[in-house]
Structure 1
C-alpha cells in the first residue's frame, strides 16, 4: 500500500495537531506584565490630569490678575474743587460759549492757570499736584453745561492726579496716602466707576484716558477686514474646489496658499506699507489700510477652511442635484455652500480672532500714533485695542498698569462677543438646513 509522503507544515495522516496551551493568566510573568501595563495607564492618566490642572491654574491666575487690576482700571478718583469764577474774571462771555467756538474760547481764557490757582487755595501749598493735568477739561465741560457759574462760586469734581488716584486704592506712596486720608477726612475725595473710560480717547494722563478711540478703530478695522477677506476667501475656495482644473498650476496655487497661512504677520505689515502706503498713497494710520492689511493676512486661513468644508460635503448631494436638472452654479450655491457654511464660518472666526489680536502689521503702517480723538471715518487716523494696550504697557506711570488691564478686559469682551455672534450664525445655518 502506497503512502503519501509527509509535506512540511502539514500533519501526517492519522496524527492530530498538538493543541496550543492556553494562556496562564495566573503565572508570575503574566501578572508582572499586567501590573506594568496598569501602572503605565495610571501614570498616563495622572500626567494628563496634571496637564489639565496646570493649564487651568495658569488660566485662572491670568484671569484673576487681569480682573483684579482691570476692575481698578474702571475706577477714577475725583476731588471736589471749589472755584470762585467771579474773582478770577475769565476773559470769556456768554456769547462766546454759544456754538462750536466754546472750546476755543475757553482754551484761550487761561482756564488751566485758574484751575491750578483754585487747587492751591482749596488744598493748600502743593494742591495743584493733587489734581490731574487734564482737570481743566472737567471745568471746561462744567462751564459749557452751565455758563452761569462764571458769575459765582462753584464746586466741580475734577480728576485727581495719578499719585492720589493710586493711593486712594491703597497702592500708592506713604506721603500720598497721608494726603488721601486728609482729603477723605474733609469729604473732598471720592472714588467710583469711571463711565468716561468707555467714551474717551487716549490721553497722557492715566486718570483721563479712555478706550473708545481704540475700540472704535478696532471695530472699523475689523469691518473692513471682514468685508474684504470673507467674500474673496469663500469665492476662492469654491473655485479651487469645484471649478479649477487639477493640474500643476492649481497645485502651485494650493501650496502657495498653505505657505501664506504660515507667513509671520509682520511680513504682511511690510506688504501693506509698501503697497497701500508707498504705491497707492493711502492715508497712514487709517482703518481702511489696517483692514486691507489684515484681510491679506487672514484670507489664506479662510480659503483653507472653506476648501475643507466644501470637500466634506458628501458627493451624493452634488449627484442628486445634478440628477434632477440643477445647473453647476445651482448645485454649488443652493446645496453645497449651505452645507459647508458652518465650517466656513468656523474658519472665519479663527481668522478674525487672529486679526483682532495682531499688533505687528498695524505698527508697520503707523497705527501706533497718539490719537486724542476717535476716528470719524475710515480714512481718519486711528489706533486699535492691541496697539493701545501695547502703548499703555510701556508707560512709566503706575496708573497706566491698571488701565492696561482694563483695556485687556475690553479686548477679551470684544473677542467673546464676536465669537458668540459667529457661533450663533453658524448654529442658525445648521438648524435651518
Structure 2
C-alpha cells in the first residue's frame, strides 16, 4: 500500500535542513590555509616569470652574440688604388665595352694583371692590400665610364681580408701597421656594404653577397605558397565540411597529424625520389625546392585550417541555409571568409618554418656554388639557410662575419613573418 506521502496531490515531505555555520576565517586553521594558498600563488607567479625571463634571456643572448659577430659583415673596407691606364698599355676595343662581351674583352686584355701591377707599384710587392676581386670593381667602373682608360684615375677597391679585419681592430700586427699607414694618407675608408645585398656567392669573402641566395629563397617560397596554400585550404574544407565521419576519415586525420611531425629530411628524400628520380625535374632548382617544402608544410596548413573552420559557429551555417544558400555558397561565402584569418596564420607560420629549412633542400642538391642569381624557376639556385651552412664550412676568417650577417638577415625575415601572422590574427580574428 502506498504511504500518504506518495499519494498524488499530497504535500511534499518537509525535511529539516541543518543551518550552515558561517566560516570563521580568523581561526588558526583557516589562516594557515589562506597563507598556504597565497604562497602557492606566489610560487606559480615566480616560476612563470622565471620561465619567461629565461626564454627572453636566451633570445637576447642569441641576438647579442649574432650582432657582435655579424655587424662587421654589413661593413666594407675600401682602399683607394691609383691606376695609370695609358702607362699600363691596356688595349681594349671601346666598341666592345657597350656590348654584352665587355666582361670578356676586359678580362682578355689583362685587366686583372693591370690592377695587381698598380697595387704592387703603390703598396709594395710584399703587401697584400687589395682583394682578389678588386679588378672586378675596376671592370665595373670602366663599363660605366670608358673614358677612364685614357687617363690616370684613383678607384676605391675592396681591401684584402686581412686588411679589412685589421681596419676593424681584429687583424695581424703587420696588417694593422698597413692600415695605419693607409689611414695617414686617407687611402682607406670603411662604410656600409651595399654590395652584400646585391652580389651572389663568391670564393672571396670580401665579394660575397646574399642576393643570389635571397632571390632563390623568395622564388622557392613563392612556389611553396602557390601549391601548399590552395591545396591545404581545400583539403581542410573538404575534411571539415563534406567528408563523411567514418574510419577512413579518421585514418586520414591521423595520417595528417603524423605527417606534421615527420622530420624534414624525410621530405627531402621524398623530393629526391619523386621530383628528381621519377619526374626528372632540374636539380637544385627553386621549383623542386618549392614542391618539396610544400609537401612539408601542407599538413600544418590542413590542421590550422580545420581548427579555424571548426571555430566558426554552426549558427552561421544554419542561418545561410535558412535563407536558401546552397552548401557550396555556405562554405565559400560565409565559412571560408570567417576562417581565413586562422588559415592565413597557420600558412605564414608554416612558411616561416619552410624558410629556415636546410636538410630537405640539401637532399635535392641545393648546395651548389651559385655565383649568379637565378633567372627562372628551373635555374640552379640556393637558399639563405643553405648559403649560411656553406659559408660556415669555409676556412677563411672573412666568412665568419658574413655568416653571422646572413643569419641576422634570416632572423629578420623570420621575425617579420611571425609578426605578420600575429598581426593578421589580432586584426581579423572574430570573437564569438
- Cα distance, 1:422–1:159 mapped onto 2, change above 3 Å: same
Question: Separation in 1 of the partners of 2:103 and 2:229?
Answer: 43
CA offset digits 1:27-55 (Å, max 9, x no partner): 44444443333333322222222222222
Cα deviation, residue 76, structure 1: 0.4
Mapped contact 2:129–2:159 kept (Cα < 8 A): yes
RMSD: 2.1
For 1:25-424, what aligned pairs fall within 5 Å after superposition?
25-127=25-127, 129-421=128-420
Displacement of 1:204 after TM fit? Answer: 1.1
- For 1:330-388, what per-residue CA distance to the aligned partner results, in whole angstroms no more than 9, with x for missing partners? 01000111111111111101111110110000010111111100000000001111111
TM-score (norm 1): 0.91
Report the 3-state secondary structure (helix = DSSP H, G, I; strand = E; otherwise coil) of the residue aligned with 1:344.
Answer: helix
- Using the size of structure 2 for normalisation, the TM-score is 0.91
Alignment partners' CA distance in 2, 1:250 and 1:227: 26
Structure 2: stretches of 5+ with no match in the other structure: 1-15
SS at match of 1:118: helix
Task: Give the total of aligned pairs.
Answer: 416
Alpha-carbon contact 1:341-1:426 (below 8 Å) kept: no
Q: Distance in 2 between matches of 1:151 and 1:17?
A: 114
Q: Is the 8 A contact 2:349 2:421 kept in 1?
A: no
Equivalent-residue separation in structure 2 for 1:102 and 1:406 (angstroms)? 32
8 Å CA contact 1:306–1:340 kept in 2: the answer is: yes
- CA–CA distance in 2 between the matches of 1:178 and 1:415? 41
Deviation at 1:125, TM superposition (A): 2.7
Superimposed CA distance per residue, residues 5-39 of structure 1 (whole angstroms, 9 cap, x where no aligned partner): xxxxxxxxxxx998777655444444444333333
* More divergent stretch after superposition (136-145 vs 402-411): 402-411
Structure 1 unpaired stretches of 5+: 1-15
Give yes or no for contact 1:130–1:161 (8 Å, CA) kept in 2.
Answer: yes
Residues in 2 aligned to 1:107 and 1:66: alpha-carbon distance in whole angstroms: 38
1:126 deviates by 1.9
CA distance in 2, matches of 1:368, 1:424: 34
Distance 1:130 1:220 in 2: 38
Q: Which deviations, in whole Å up to 9, do the C-alpha atoms of 1:382-407 show, x marking residues without a partner?
A: 11111111111222222222112221
